[in-house]
Amino acid sequence: MSGFTSNRRTRARGLPAPLRAKVMYRADGLCEKRGPNCTTVATEVDHIVPEFEGGTDDLDNLEATCAACHKPKTQREAQRARARFSRRRPPPPRPGMLPGSSTDRRQGPLGIPSPPDRAARTA
């Protein structure tokens, strides 16, 4: 596909290098999260409060983490974001689940039992 150009905007990902360097220097290259599988050597910089939840790029909201601590936290955040921004509609109610639509003919509207029929009274 020679000559193909995309009109999609590209978004700068990640933090600026000087800000990342400040966070790593502050942490002395060690993981600040210290999770159960921590490797203690920080390789990534993470937002404490994610940007989609109102977090900023301030130094107070950034921490140096190792990959083992960062991955589960990022997965939990992504799951919350998907649930929050999901455009999926809830499924419509199924006809069998509506009140009064039971296959039981003795039931009246809204699931209220209907009065017994005349044949049952005389027997």
Containing structural domain, residue 54: 17-85
Domain count, the chain: 1
- 65, 73, 80, 87 from 84: Cα distances, Å: 26, 17, 6, 9
Q: What is the DSSP letter of 83?
A: H
52 domain residue, yes or no: yes
2-37 per-position pLDDT tens digit? 665 655 555 456 789 999 999 999 999 999 998 888
40 domain residue, yes or no: yes
56 domain residue, yes or no: yes
18-27 per-position pLDDT tens digit? 999 999 999 9
11 domain residue, yes or no: no
101 domain residue, yes or no: no
57 domain residue, yes or no: yes
Q: Scan for tokens 């900023």, then name that residue.
A: 56
107 domain residue, yes or no: no
Average pLDDT, the chain: 77
